[in-house]
Amino acid sequence: MPRYALKIEYNGAPFSGWQRQAALASVQGAVEAALAKLEPGPHTIAAAGRTDTGVHALGQVAHCDMEREWQPFRLSEALNYHLKPDPVCVVACARVADDWHARFSAEARHYLFRLVVRRAPLTHDAGLAWRVMQPLNLSAMRAGAAHLLGQHDFTTFRASECQAKSPVKTLDQLDIEELSYPGGREFRFSLSARSFLHNQVRSFVGTLERVGAGAWAPEDVKSALEAKDRAACGPVCPPYGLYLRSVDYPQDPFT
């Protein structure tokens, strides 16, 4: 059975996350239903990461096994036809080795979080960014973020229902950029690691927002990390500002 890698973009608003669920809409379910229109029968796809309810993706990667050979371009075009009107599309498709795996072959995952500071509600970016009204101090947030880089026990920033075997992860990047935004400012958090714990990124951003607002000192982030206690975490920010930006592999299957 030939295997194909799919690079998938989606708006997570109408879905209960990536993972297929019996009675709820999911991104995985939408893609598998589209595959069934091309080759009837059950399809099971695997993804690089299981995004939560309301989380978006610019470059989620999944793989599927087909009964017959497809030209990758024709497969992506056919899938996009059958994915309508769901806010999901295949932006790239490639034939890969039979043992290639979207999750287990991945070397790094990259996330983006968008936070907008302005008094007025969001219109064009409603559901695509987290809006807060109080000004934020970029230098303070960067100082707080520095305590999170490297290998740590991230129990404090891990959801209680997280199924990872260990809370120890290595955070390779946590950069914060400030941009102009109509009527306010936008802060973009860029995070990279081989893998993340459940709610880890949203826990980071929610905590750093408290630092930027002056409710926490940057050193409080270090104290919270060292506590290894979920109760020490700041508020978890909402999902709709979070994007799975891209996934790295030893060799990019889409080049």
Q: Which two tokens stand for residue 116?
A: 């907008």
Q: Which amino acid is at 89?
A: C
Q: How many contiguous H segments (helices) and E segments (strands) does the chain have?
A: 5, 10
Decide: 246 and 92 in contact? Cβ < 8 Å.
no
Q: DSSP of 156-168, one letter per residue?
A: GGS-TT---S-SE
- Inter-residue contact 73 to 101 (CB < 8 Å): no
Q: Which parts of the chain are beta strand (E)?
A: 3-10, 46-47, 56-65, 88-96, 108-117, 130-132, 150-153, 168-181, 184-193, 242-248
Closest CA to 197 of 234, 230, 238: 230
Q: CA 81, CA 142: separation in Å to the nearest integer?
A: 43
The neighbour count for residue 34, using CB atoms within 10 Å, is: 21
Q: Tell me the catalytic residues.
A: 52
Residue type, 237: C
Q: How many CB atoms lie within 10 A of CB 124?
A: 7
Can you tell me whether residue 38 is helix, strand or coil? helix
